[in-house]
Amino acid sequence: REPYLWPLLIYLLLVCLYPFASSCAHTFSSMSARARHICYFCDYGALSLYSLGCAFAYGAYAAPDHWVSAGLHRYFVPAAAFNSFVCPGLSCYSRFPELEHPRWSKALRTAAFVYPFLYDNIPLFSRLLFCFWNNCAWTEAVVGYCYHLLFALLTGFLFASHLPERLAPGRFDYIGEQQPPGPPRHSHQLFHICAVLGTHFQLEAILCDASSRRAWLRARLPLPGLPGTFGTAALVLLGNVAIIGAFTAALSRAP
């Protein structure tokens, strides 16, 4: 009954989706080679939808004051919706050349995650730079966004570097049990921990902004409508399902 909170609701729904999808991918990917690809296709789609949820929340509550009602602000979420098709397309495709060109595959997958992250956080970068140069008050929300960006950068570093266990492959352990043979995984678990911690700080900051800026934003922005919120989210969801279905069908033709 409160349209002002609809972007927050979409964010909350999608932010719950990506850890669930990742857990399912890690649980069921060992069933077969085909299952592994399909599981991670779904994982990439969930990350894409999470990126859209971030754009909804940032556009509705976290935009810098000088952004509000400007042209970039009006097109911020539609552009993020377009990115939500590019991200799963690139990341799903990156699994096909993985055996022949592993470095190219990893670069494509990393770019598919980094690009929407950088786009979604343009409002935060702008807001933080404005606060830094103008020496404005660092609110609780701004501090939360700083922690979020710190953990996001750490997440990306762990994903790309495979540290720390690449320093001692096969011998790195956390709780006293030697790592089994196979590709190193400990940095990937740290990757998930840092991602969820970053999301925690992001959520806390968004809740602060949604509450503290409510009167100011409602006086300057029209209330969100169903087509622009749930309609856009449903369209992107269907598009991601179609992309995942297309790449799943292509598995039968792949070596």
**200 carries a ligand binding annotation:** no
| C-alpha dist (Å) from residue 1 to 13, 159, 224, 226, 228 | 17, 41, 12, 12, 16
Residue 40 token pair: 């991670």
Residue 98 token pair: 């993985």
Closest to 255 measured CA to CA, from 25, 32, 28, 34: 34
Q: What H or E segment, with its residue span, contains residue 108?
A: helix 102-120
Backbone angles phi, psi at 247, to 5 degrees: -70, -30
In this structure, are residues 228 and 77 in contact, taking their beta carbons and an 8 Å threshold?
yes
Long-range contacts of 24-32 (CB under 8 A, 24+ apart): none
**192 carries a ligand binding annotation:** yes
Q: Residues 127-143, buried b or exposed e (16+ Cβ, 10 A)? A: bbeebeeeeeeeeebbe
How many angstroms separate the CA atoms of 195 and 17, rounded?
Answer: 13
Closest to 219 measured CA to CA, from 43, 42, 4, 35: 4
The amino acid occupying position 240 is N
**26 carries a ligand binding annotation:** yes
Going by the annotation, the residues of the binding site for Zn(2+) are 26, 188, 192
Going by the annotation, the residues of the binding site are 26, 188, 192
